[in-house]
Structure 1
Amino acid sequence: MTFGDKRADIARTEGGPFGSLQREIDRVFDDFSRNWPALGGGGLTPRMDVTERDGTIEIAAELPGLEEKDVEVSVVDNILTVKGEKKAERTEEEGARKLVERSYGAFARTIELPPGIKAEDIKASLSKGVLTVTLPKPVAAAPQAKKIEVKAG
């Protein structure tokens, strides 16, 4: 169960002597994790979709409010990393007493790629708050089968 994951509550039995204690513990962790994005309270962890198409793999990440200069995409040892930073924005108006605050901070998300992906073939673009990373699917190698001769020791 991840912090704040309400779907995990479906399987739990609500009855019994510890039901109310469990609900209270869940509430405390939910409240706590809202202020700590690294613990899964939403925040800056970008949501991603991975789609396999004819010959390509497409990864789409929601990055609202970010521009190309705010995002870095890299590949090291078949690990794709998307990281960036959303700068703090704070506006305060005196007349109507308007206060606007948005979440900010650094984030990083990694995905293990299948073996055989060439880093130079990966393309990334950012449009309307969605980062799209496209890479060609690696050609599946035919399984190698070989009979090994067993010799007397």
Structure 2
Amino acid sequence: MAGIVRRRDWPFGDWPDVFGRNFPAFFRGFPEMESLVDREGMKLEEFVDEGTLVVKAEMPGIDPEKDVEITVSDNMITISAERRQEEKVEEKGGYRTEFSYGKFVRTLPLPAGATEDDIKASYSDGILEIRVPVDKGKAEAKKVPIQKG
């Protein structure tokens, strides 16, 4: 049985963990940077299924028609979502929540040969699934001839 490997797309390894869980607060107001370190709001799975890149995002309690946007630009796919806190519960003994509210953004590179026009997305049981067809013919490297001058 193969071991489980945790894949990180953060280029600096465990660097943010040195500062603890509150380190992402440093980037509040900068969504592009925030998405690099804040992994609590949107957990992802990525795998290839019969020539299709599949990305699954965990998004319980989100209305996909109102609170989710998926964009593709420059071979990157960006998933933006917002979980709204509809009501505040005030109880005699206090109020505590571990739910994450606010805007969550993740940007992922698309593989070579991804056909951006055929991307499909669906949402079921708190999971957003994005399917990106990959054309293996386009993914192969092409040799460029060199002319002598």
TM-score exceeds 0.5: yes
TM-score, normalised by the number of residues in structure 1: 0.66
Equivalent residue, structure 2, for 1:139: 136
Residues 1:33 and 2:23 aligned together? yes
Which of 73, 89, 103 is 1:91 aligned to?
89
54 and 105 in structure 1: CA distance in 2 versus 1, 3 angstrom threshold: same
Equivalent residue, structure 1, for 2:59: 63
Q: After TM superposition, which residue ranges in structure 1, 4 or more long, deviate above 4 angstroms?
A: 34-37, 145-149
- How many residue pairs match? The answer is 125
Instruction: Give SS of 2:16's match.
Output: coil
Displacement of 1:119 in angstroms is 2.5
Equivalent residue, structure 1, for 2:124: 127
Higher relative contact order (CA 8 A, sep 6+): 2
Quick check: which has more Rg, 1 or 2?
1
Unaligned runs of 5+ in 2: 1-13, 29-33
Displacement of 1:60 in angstroms is 0.6
Superposed counterparts of 1:111-126, under 5 Å: 111-126=108-123
93 and 147 in structure 1: CA distance in 2 versus 1, 3 angstrom threshold: closer
Distance in structure 1 (CA, Å) of the matches to 2:121 and 2:63: 13
Equivalent residue, structure 2, for 1:8: none
Instruction: Give SS of 1:72's match.
Output: strand
Instruction: Give SS of 1:114's match.
Output: coil
Equivalent residue, structure 1, for 2:15: 2
Share of identical aligned residues, percent?
31
Deviation readout 1:121-144 (Å, 9 max, x if unpaired): 000111111110001112234554
Cα RMSD between the aligned structures?
A: 2.7
Unaligned runs of 5+ in 1: 5-25
Higher strand share: 1
55 and 43 in structure 1: CA distance in 2 versus 1, 3 angstrom threshold: closer
Residues 1:110 and 2:69 aligned together? no
Distance in structure 2 (CA, Å) of the matches to 1:76 and 1:129: 26
